[in-house]
């Protein structure tokens, strides 16, 4: 009976260690930026915002957002930009004044620069 009790304690200890390791790895990858914006590689992201338009361009540490989608899309765009590890947008271009191109820009600018 003592061997079984010791064996159970060892199994529980191993499971706790594995769980702690898994949680630490999960935390590491959630907080790690997905990209290095300083690479000498042109990257273009077409964000899926339904019928609206939003494009993110990255090159040599510079970022440019072309259009900002609808107002309802701005939380998704902000979350995506932050998940990439981008904390500021260097250039913002509004191609024309239709709401599906510019309505989300004010919230995006406010979140990235004033929060």
Residue with structure tokens 């309802």?
A: 72
* 28 pLDDT above the threshold of 90: no
- Please tell me whether residues 28 and 80 are part of one structural domain: no
Dump pLDDT digits (tens) for 32-42. 666 677 777 88
- DSSP conformation letters of 43-97: EEEE---TTS--EEEEETTEEEEE----GGGHHHHHHHHHHTT----SEEE--SS
Note the pTM of the prediction, 2 decimals: 0.67
User: Within this chain, do residues 18 and 49 fall inside the same structural domain, yes or no?
Assistant: no
Residue pair 69/104 in contact by the 8 Å Cβ criterion: yes
In a domain, 99, yes or no: yes
Which pLDDT belongs to residue 14?
A: 87
Are residues 73 and 103 both part of a single domain?
A: yes
Q: What are the backbone angles phi and psi of residue 59, rounded to the nearest 5°?
A: -160, 130
How many structural domains are present in the chain? 2
pLDDT category of residue 107 using cuts at 50, 70 and 90: very high
Give the range with max mean pLDDT: 5-9, 18-22, 57-61.
57-61
- The residue with greater pLDDT, 27 or 15, is 15
Task: Grade residue 30 by pLDDT with cuts at 50, 70 and 90.
Answer: low
The boundaries of the domain holding residue 9 are 1-32
Tell me: do 27 and 56 sit in the same domain.
no
Same domain, 91 and 47: yes
């Amino acid at each position: 009976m003592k061997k079984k009790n010791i064996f159970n304690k060892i199994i529980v200890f191993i499971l706790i260690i594995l769980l702690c390791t898994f949680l630490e790895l999960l935390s590491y990858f959630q907080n790690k930026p997905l990209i290095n914006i300083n690479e000498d590689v042109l990257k273009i992201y077409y964000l899926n915002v339904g019928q609206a338009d939003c494009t993110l361009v990255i090159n040599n540490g510079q970022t440019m957002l072309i259009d900002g989608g609808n107002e309802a899309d701005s939380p998704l765009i902000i979350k995506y930009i932050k998940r990439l590890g981008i904390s500021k947008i260097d250039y913002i271009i509004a191609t024309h004044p239709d709401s599906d191109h510019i309505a989300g820009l004010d919230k995006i600018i406010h979140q990235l620069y004033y929060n």
